Structure 1
Amino acid sequence: MTETLAVDVNRTGLHTLEAPTTFEANGPFAIALTNHGEPTHVHVHLDDHLSDIARIEASNHYVETDETRHVEVKTRDRTEWPSDLVRGKLKVVTAHGQETHYVDIEFDRTPEKEPVEVDPDLSKPRQQEDTEVSPAMRALPVGVLGAVALLLAIGALFAADGINFVLGAFAVIAGVACAVAANYLLV
């Protein structure tokens, strides 16, 4: 679908122009010149930045009363654009220069992201399988690791002497307490 830039001519008086101050497009678009009053000539012109990627076949257009004339703005292939974002000005003139309006045009060729389809089944909770793990099976790894830590601490106590022996005893007691507490928390 081609985007359209609406320009109203003679709506609020003779030789008046109304158009948005900015317009964004990602390819070719149309300028819709709608005349609400006396027949008039409208001139449209792309600045140098926009002329690098876009062109208008004819720049002068005669628009009758209550007529809408569509002016195509064609673009080069998007792969030939100098950058992903091209900005410039479109000049719209009526009454041989008596009224001028500029529209900031922004061409953006960054690809639109494809929408992600989500499977409706993902919103439903999964069924629990019948393979429940018993509390004893959950406590087994903690018990094994606690026993290994206890054996290592006891070995360190025999190798140490003096104050190290007392600190080692506290470490063994703390390790046993942690293993027992973890075992009860998991069950």
Structure 2
Amino acid sequence: MSSALTVDLNRDRLHDVAVPGMYTTDEAFYVALENHGEAVHIHLHLDDTLSTVATLDGGNHYVDSGSTTTVRVGVERVEEPVTGKLKIVTGYGAETAYVDVTVEPFEEENHSVQVDEELGKPQRNASQRRNPAKREPSMSEKFGNRPSSGVSLPLLALAALAILLALLVGVVVDSGVVLVGVGVVIGGVLVALALQLR
């Protein structure tokens, strides 16, 4: 919406009216009657040309001391610019001022957003953009079907610990069932190491 057309009242003296020389709009607007002094009666009037495309919400207005009253001016859509006068009268004719108001054809604002077609394509991460030939391996490539490179040191340490604990339990607990369990654990560890070496 257009900014308000401001009319300053009683700024320098009683019934003083200060207005801009012209005002242009393409839609409804408000006349802001700003009173800087004593309370005053205001009369607004559109000339014959302007009244063909605009309407005032009331002609007579009382503006209290130090307050602002806003008056809406409705505007019709036009094909060609229309210029007329808004008349402002204070103190029952004591002072009169005019503003040339031009109503221009309404232009719809384009609120659409332009989207780059590249945004619709899958994006690669920064390292792939720098070196397309080098790509990050998939999860199955990371954890499955990879050639073994021998037994790692942490795996050997874990196997030795398992065997040591199994032997320790077998020595401490004197039971046939425990001895069979110790044998199973040691056998399992040795089979796992053998599979890892393949």
Shift of 1:95: 1.1
- TM-score, with structure 1 as normaliser: 0.57
8 A contact 1:10–1:35 mirrored in 2? yes
Match of 2:94 in 1: 98
8 A contact 1:35–1:64 mirrored in 2? yes
Instruction: Map Cα deviations across residues 117-161 of structure 1 (whole Å, 9 max, x no partner).
Output: 696x9xxxxxxxxxxxxxxxxxxxxxxxxxxxxxxxxxxxxxxxx
**C-alpha distance in structure 2 between counterparts of 1:113 and 1:4, whole Å:** 20
Instruction: Map Cα deviations across residues 28-72 of structure 1 (whole Å, 9 max, x no partner).
Output: 000000111110101110111111111012100000001100000
Match of 1:4 in 2: 4
**C-alpha distance in structure 2 between counterparts of 1:113 and 1:73, whole Å:** 21
Match of 1:69 in 2: 69
**C-alpha distance in structure 1 between counterparts of 2:109 and 2:94, whole Å:** 44
Shift of 1:113: 6.5
Instruction: Map Cα deviations across residues 144-184 of structure 1 (whole Å, 9 max, x no partner).
Output: xxxxxxxxxxxxxxxxxxxxxxxxxxxxxxxxxxxxxxxxx
Give the 5 Å matches for 1:156-171: none
Which of 77, 83, 95 aligns to 1:87? It is 83
8 A contact 1:29–1:72 mirrored in 2? yes
Shift of 1:75: 1.8
Q: Say which SS state the counterpart of residue 3 (structure 1) adopts.
A: coil
- TM-score, with structure 2 as normaliser: 0.54
8 A contact 1:3–1:28 mirrored in 2? no
Match of 2:166 in 1: none
**C-alpha distance in structure 2 between counterparts of 1:59 and 1:39, whole Å:** 17
8 A contact 1:34–1:67 mirrored in 2? yes
8 A contact 2:26–2:105 mirrored in 1? yes
Compare CA radii of gyration and give the structure with the larger one: 2
Match of 1:19 in 2: 19
* Count of matched residue positions in the alignment of Structure 1 and Structure 2: 117
**C-alpha distance in structure 2 between counterparts of 1:7 and 1:112, whole Å:** 28
Match of 2:31 in 1: 31
8 A contact 1:25–1:106 mirrored in 2? yes
Q: Say which SS state the counterpart of residue 49 (structure 2) adopts.
A: helix
Query: Aligned Cα RMSD in Å?
Result: 2.1
**C-alpha distance in structure 1 between counterparts of 2:106 and 2:74, whole Å:** 18
**C-alpha distance in structure 1 between counterparts of 2:67 and 2:35, whole Å:** 6
Identity of aligned residues (%): 43
Opposite residue 84 of structure 2, the aligned amino acid is G
8 A contact 1:84–1:110 mirrored in 2? no
**C-alpha distance in structure 2 between counterparts of 1:10 and 1:18, whole Å:** 9
Match of 2:56 in 1: 56
8 A contact 1:30–1:72 mirrored in 2? yes
**For structure 1, which runs of at least 5 residues remain unmatched after alignment?**
122-187
Match of 1:155 in 2: none
Shift of 1:98: 1.3
